[in-house]
Amino acid sequence: MHDDRRLIEGRLARVLSERIAPAIYPESVPLRASMWVAPDEPVPVAEGIAALRTPVEPGTRWGAAWGTSWLTVEGTVPAAWAGRTVEAIIDLGFDGTMTGFQCEGLVYRADGTPVKGLHPRNQWVRIAGSAAGGEQVLLHVEAASNPVIGFFAPTTLGDKATAGSEPRYRLGRMDLAVFDEQVWGLVQDLEVLGELMHEMPEDPARRYDIVRAIERALDAVDLQDVNGTAAAARACLTAVLARPAIASAHTIHAVGHAHIDTAWLWPLRETVRKVARTTANMTALLEQEPEFIYTMSQAAQYDFLKQHRPEVYARVKQAVAEGRFVPAGGMWVESDTNMPGSEAMARQFVHGKRFFLDEFGVENREAWLPDTFGFAAGLPQIIKAAGSEWLLTQKISWSQINQFPHHTFWWEGIDGTRIFTHFPPIDTYNCSMQGSEIAHAARNFKEKGRASHSLAPTGFGDGGGGTTREMIAKAARMRDLEGSPKVVWDTPAGFFARAEAEYRNPAVWVGELYLELHRATLTTQARTKQGNRRSEHLLREAELWAATAAVRKRADYPSAELDRLWKTVLLHQFHDILPGSSIAWVHREAQQTYEQVAEELTALIERAQWVLGGERGGENVFNAAPHAQDSVPAGAAGPVAAGAPCRVAERPGGGFVLDNGVLRVGVDARGLIVSLIDLAQERETLPPDGVANLLQVHPDLPNSWDAWDVDLFYRNRVTDLVEADSVVAEVDSSGAAVVRVGRTFGSSKVEQALTLRPGARGLDIETAVDWFETEKFLKLAFPLDIHADRYAAETQFGHLYRPTHTNTSWEYAKFEACNHRFVHIGEPGWGVALVNDSTYGHDLTRTVRADGGTTTTVRASLLRAPRFPDPDTDHGAHVFRHRLLPGATIGDAVREGYRINLTPARPGVADTVEPLFSIDNDAVVTSAVKLADDGSGDVVLRVYEAHGGRASALVRPGFPTAGVEVCDLLERPVPADTAVAADDAGVRLRLRPFQLVTLRFARSPEPSAG
């Protein structure tokens, strides 16, 4: 037989798009339309509905960037349409090829009740399922003219202040129309079969069965009367649609989904409305589709609805109660997981899970992070400590170099905790039920032969409006269809339970889930990262001193303020805010927010300290770090011991030599460190002819994703900043030896202070940069005379090791990586740590010298200057602090990392303050001291083993206790742990490497007076 498949395929494509799909709405009448433009920011619904309108019609230009316009459409259902399904079609000027990132609308009835959202693939509003004829139609649309921000081209559209006032859109079709469900069903039938046909091999009989069925259906369609012949055409397809899938077919668990970035190419205020539009859509769809299940993560987004759109939130709560709208993930936001500190990462789960428990009675067992840019190795323990056991992610499929070898696996963290993890083989978190996606999932699934189930988050994200009725219809046809994977609607928990039961012995992946892409998010938008780091440590201090004041002085504990401030900081850890990949508006507001957070937390800290410390002007300072500093115990207030002044001498050949009896530092006339000697070990830190404190500038134009990416070829060109405008030295009033260096380069300048303090084991480097470069990358380099095949970088509740070599493509891909407060490079018996107060990105390379020695160079990443999506990224003034520690152990790195971020620098007070807890082993580090969240007055202590070894410690409470419990992160009792034993002396801990423990101490009742 002659092969005419291509002919049939071409016929299907044309007839479906040009004749059948347009016949879905065979009759229509125009709606009358009028519009009011809000003068500035969005207004309340009642105000928008009541405002005076101006008539408009299709083709009218509307919508300045970031504006809000209220559109009203009115009409009457013709009497001739009685008994037929009628819908309003409202096209705000959508580009159907983009499912998000453009204008959007939320439809309201005359009384202000929300109906549904309007989006590019979702422009309809159901008026009547069976019209009586004569119905009056009156709908209001809150239309947001969010601009289309094209990728990678510098744009001023990312901030309302620079976006201009030109209209961005033209109104399109605004009609009442008859909806022909039979034709609509024919479209779904043909699309499913046509897409399935294209994904099948060419020779199986099944493909030819589909071809011939489609041919018969197209023959049955009268192109002059599609509506009258659609039923006959569908009858031709019944048999091929009814053929069941083979028993071994892969099963895809679809869950309705709309990944909504909490901020990205829009500000936070617009996310509130995006969530309202999408959830209005989804709750309406749930009412119409009994098998459909929808999931939404990010407790903060539910809270947006609760605070700003209570009428939509009421619908969500009802759908949650029915089990159809599923809160997922148990986190406050889908945060970045590389950069948030230990306690902040824990609080993402504390606040997220508690919100879902309090609002809905839902306990999440899964973490849901489809779009996060890689996963820190400390995360499994945190997930488990929060009472969860599963993780879903997707983004690893974006990796540039290596293909991840598993889709369902155990992920093992630094402490040995394992989390059952799924990485959907469909390779998208915006599945639209296209045949190509469904077939790819089955082909791509790496656990074939061992497992047969995968998950597909289904729906248009961001501005796309979520799952559509078309997706649900296509899923129904693929529920049990020969040649296709089976598709079922399910909850995340339902999928995970089924997958875990099926796959009892999955493969194990140990360590971080590194994304081989978006590496520059560890550096971009330095102010945002500094705001986060500072906020995290201020929150630690505020909880510590407020809890101490509550226990010691019966002061009120500011629970509500701390709860609100924590949620603000957690919100800004979203995976496009903290990573620096949002528009200028987002980061401008983030900087303002961090300043306000710092002001409020500083006030809380000082209030507690004055309560504890008595009169101002004394000699005692507060130490919030987990180790003693300058003779002040951890968590206490006391006097600082002064050390002998440092010495400064001129260096032969120019420059200066600094000496404090512990270190001797040589700084040349260029302001570069040419010698750093550990006097106790008589060891030089730098390699022969090596110079440290070397600022280096690289060109930085990645192939794509400007704010997100740095490509390895950036290293091919480098400019070393070796010329100095000034190099001067002094011994300051504290006895510290300081060398001050000034440089200019390009359009920027830098001033550095190299400070050696009395008795200090490290050299402080403060770098103040006025940065006005474009598409450049600024690094601060420290070459070290160390031979090591691995190095340590701090992560949540511990550290991980990364190779210093590039033996394999996996190591080669990690050319930019994350650290928290320190990196440590060591040989047996001697090492060097570089600690910081606000930088996260770094790189580490090694070379072998002519003398046979190894030079290992660590470089801190300071600043970038991408132009998209913020054309002025990082421009302005910045200050970075680093401390270089020769002879450092891992324990020294941990201690000094806390010290540089929690320096005891508060104004002196008269009274000493004893700590609430003392711990007799520095390897057991305090992460948090606070009062319990339930208002009971119990004191919560969270500790972890920080050195990577076994640790025994005695925890002594400094207040009368009535008992102690081991708890999870939500401060709920957990089964007894053999690592914890309480006796009269305190609580004895025997911890595994990096083990995290939360202890809850009940306080003894206060003795009654008299």
What pLDDT shows up at residue 950?
A: 97
Yes or no: say if 708 and 521 are a contact pair by the CB < 8 Å rule.
yes
- Nearest Cα neighbor of 109 from 126, 133, 86 is 126
Cα distances from 393 to residues 141, 322, 456, in angstroms, run 35, 26, 11
Measured distance CA(705)–CA(373) in Å, rounded: 13
What's the whole-number mean pLDDT along residues 522-544? 98
Phi, then psi, of 45 in degrees rounded to 5: -55, -45
What pLDDT shows up at residue 1010?
A: 43
Yes or no: say if 105 and 142 are a contact pair by the CB < 8 Å rule.
yes
Q: Is the pLDDT of residue 893 over 80?
A: yes
Q: Predicted confidence band at 1007 (pLDDT cuts at 50, 70, 90)? A: low
Q: What's the full length of the chain, in residues? A: 1010
Please state, as a whole number, how many other Cβ atoms lie within 10 Å of the Cβ of residue 642: 12
What pLDDT shows up at residue 97?
A: 85
Mean pLDDT (the chain, rounded): 96
Element (H, E) at 35: strand 32-37
The answer to whether residue 371 is catalytic is yes
Yes or no: say if 780 and 882 are a contact pair by the CB < 8 Å rule.
yes
Yes or no: say if 345 and 824 are a contact pair by the CB < 8 Å rule.
no
Q: Is the pLDDT of residue 414 over 90?
A: yes
DSSP 897-908: HHHHHS---SPP
Measured distance CA(648)–CA(166) in Å, rounded: 62
* Tens of pLDDT, residues 330-377: 999 999 999 999 999 999 999 999 999 999 999 999 999 999 999 999
Q: What is the CA radius of gyration of the chain?
A: 31
What's the whole-number mean pLDDT along residues 908-919? 93
Q: Which residues pair with 752 in a beta bridge?
A: 741, 767
Q: Predicted confidence band at 905 (pLDDT cuts at 50, 70, 90)? A: low
What's the whole-number mean pLDDT along residues 277-295? 97
Phi-psi region of 446 (alpha: psi -120 to 50; beta: other; left: phi over 0): alpha
What pLDDT shows up at residue 903?
A: 85
Please state, as a whole number, how many other Cβ atoms lie within 10 Å of the Cβ of residue 307: 10
* Tens of pLDDT, residues 814-860: 999 999 999 999 999 999 999 999 999 999 999 999 999 999 999 99
Q: Which residues pair with 913 in a beta bridge?
A: 637
Q: Is the pLDDT of residue 920 over 80?
A: yes
Phi, then psi, of 350 in degrees rounded to 5: -60, -50
Element (H, E) at 816: none
Measured distance CA(957)–CA(924) in Å, rounded: 15
Q: Predicted confidence band at 135 (pLDDT cuts at 50, 70, 90)? A: very high
Cα distances from 102 to residues 59, 95, 988, in angstroms, run 17, 8, 58
One-letter amino acid of 300: A
Structure-token pair, residue 116: 């549904």
- Nearest Cα neighbor of 432 from 457, 402, 403 is 457
Q: Which residues pair with 309 in a beta bridge?
A: none
What's the whole-number mean pLDDT along residues 222-235? 98
What pLDDT shows up at residue 906?
A: 67
Residue 204, preceding peptide bond in cis (omega within 30° of 0):
no
Q: How far is CA 689 from the centre of its chain?
A: 42
**472-476, 515-519, 638-642: range with lowest mean pLDDT:** 638-642
What pLDDT shows up at residue 688?
A: 96
Q: Predicted confidence band at 481 (pLDDT cuts at 50, 70, 90)? A: very high
Cα distances from 961 to residues 897, 914, 986, 988, in angstroms, run 32, 16, 10, 15
Please give the DSSP secondary-structure letter assigned to residue 9: H
Please state, as a whole number, how many other Cβ atoms lie within 10 Å of the Cβ of residue 153: 11
Q: Is the pLDDT of residue 458 over 60?
A: yes
Structure-token pair, residue 74: 């009115």
Q: How far is CA 859 from the centre of its chain?
A: 25
Q: Which residue has the tokens 């003779």?
A: 631
Q: Sign (positive/negative) of CA torsion 246, 252, 253, 257? A: negative
What's the whole-number mean pLDDT along residues 790-811? 98
Measured distance CA(256)–CA(630) in Å, rounded: 56
One-letter amino acid of 728: V
Q: Predicted confidence band at 463 (pLDDT cuts at 50, 70, 90)? A: confident
Q: Which residue has the higher pLDDT, 271 or 3?
A: 271
Give me the catalytic one of 371, 563, 659, 968.
371
Q: Listing from the earlier edge strand, what are the strands of the sheet with 86-90? A: 28-30, 174-178, 86-90, 124-128
Q: Which residues contact 337 (CB under 8 A, 6 or more apart)?
A: 345, 369, 372, 374, 375, 376, 379
* Tens of pLDDT, residues 21-73: 999 999 999 999 999 999 999 999 999 999 999 999 999 999 999 999 999 99
Coil vs helix vs strand at 1002? strand
Element (H, E) at 480: none
Question: What b-and-e string marks burial along 394-427, b requiring 16 or more CB atoms within 10 Å of the CB?
Answer: bbbbebeeeebebbbbbbbbbbebbbbbbbbbbb
Q: Is the pLDDT of residue 526 over 50?
A: yes
For the chain, percent of residues with pLDDT exceeding 90:
94
Q: Is the pLDDT of residue 285 over 90?
A: yes
What pLDDT shows up at residue 200?
A: 92
Measured distance CA(14)–CA(777) in Å, rounded: 51
Q: Is the pLDDT of residue 1 over 60?
A: no
Q: Predicted confidence band at 607 (pLDDT cuts at 50, 70, 90)? A: very high
Yes or no: say if 634 and 628 are a contact pair by the CB < 8 Å rule.
yes
